[in-house]
Structure 1
Amino acid sequence: MITLFLPKLASAIPADERAAIEADLMEPITLKLKNRNTVTGNAIRVSEEEIQIASAEGAGEIIFTFQTDEISEISVPGESYKSVATEWMLAGNTEDALELMSMLYAQRGPLLPLLPASESHFFTYYVDLVLNSPKPARAIAIIQTLRPQIEHPAALRALDDSTLKSYQTLELYEQAVPLAEVWVARRKPFGESALGYYVLGAARLRSEAYEEALDLALRPIVFASPIPTDHLAECYAVAIGAALGLRERSYAATLFKEMQTRGFEWPVQDRSLQATLKEISQYIQDHEDIPESH
């Protein structure tokens, strides 16, 4: 039987509100069948081919098994909480959003193979929240569940970005680099994200291929528009590291000053770039009157 184990996080949501959400999410699901019958109950086994439902019958229950091609629609309780989670996330209330998304994923995850693709699209936001949480490794398993269900090209690109970001965040560079190479080959440097250029440039920096690292990192910087570009700060950091590796310290300092002028903060989450920050900060302290970034 599929038991709904709602995650017991260090709760950001007030206890009474969380209890109400849990109660709503544990309500039975409803299957609308193509023969116009309706069955309500709790899913006890789900696959791509069939679903078993335990439905209350007097003091006991009865088990129904349906092939997926017999089902016209599945209604899952708690639909309104998806909007709440999105609103919290957009408002910057990430702790509450992560907690609610975790509860929704625990409820809906086993059913995703049978639900519309939009359900899986929604959880791409959850991947990003998990990546920025204290346990980012969970993102990989979530991505593996979501990918077979996603069809829309934009949603697939978003999931590809989340996958690449997951491997980079977890320092799984052997997995990240091939994905970054594909990313750079398929994307333009003037898009909304510079993620692939950052990941591949950082890989070249780690292998001391400084000229290639500099070229990769500068592409989105040169083409940057007034529209915010994700991961541009990381590209600046890689470019600075590559310039230092090429002994172009004055140019590295110029890039650092430009980075600060544009309001970018140093990407402290990437441990491989912290030595670069220390080196450029020391150089600037010794040679130029440029405020040090923290």
Structure 2
Amino acid sequence: MDDHPQTRHATPPLPEQQQDMPGYTGAMDPRPDHGERSYRGSGRLTDRVALITGADSGIGRAVAIAFAREGADVVISYLEEDEDARETARWVEEAGRKAILAPGDIGDERFARSLVDRTMKECGRLDILVNNAAHQATFEKLEDISSQEWDLTFRTNVHAMFYLCQEAVKHMKPGASIINTSSINATSPSPTLLAYATTKGAIANFTAGLAGLVADQGIRVNAVAPGPIWTPLIPATMPVEKVKSFGENTPLKRPGQPAELAATYVLLASDQSSYTTGALYEVTGGRPML
């Protein structure tokens, strides 16, 4: 593998492609790298239990694979992408860990809270919560964003995070970790992703506030802010021309691969970051978060 960070993975122009939402891994060209062949664990999460939303593909799949290879069982929460989710489960099980498939809409409060209950019933504990699932859509004009679209984006990206965190902290023990996926859009918003970017700013703020609120319980709360990452969300929600040039506006001149974020989530989940809470970790290919 090429060691130069600018040429380590595929660079723009990327092949022309577009998918219907929510997007599927198998139709992507090139196929994303989730660390299937590269991630090596070292026992940093041995016998812990992680609930990961949006774990069927993209960043969520990369995190699930890494967590499993570090010794954790994984509850794979996803909307309806059964084929992608089964592939994630296969990699978790190949690592010798339990994989629980949990399809459903986390924007529905009852379902979101039931995910925590199911995790406790089937695994007996919850050590790591990763709020990663997200909805985004591109709009060129403010008037094109319907109230239904605005509500869907907030229910998926913000409300679900609140429901899951509120339920999870009832069961988490000292040393537990909550990791939320924010975005470079939290501080450098793309105008055509207005609803999505607004939620990502809210996630960063929520993370900082919650970290202070649950510190006495021994629970750490942090967030990761990815830049342009090559996931099914991209060809499913962006115009063809933007997909072709995706990531070229970074100093590394390419999109990041999901595998390139996994180690950050592992660090934040592990005891090696025991003094880290309320932080926002930037993984942006060198683009500054202003």
Structure number with larger C-alpha Rg:
1
- Structure with more contact order per residue of length (Cα contacts < 8 Å, sep ≥ 6): 2
| TM tier, smaller | under 0.3
Structure with higher helix content: 1
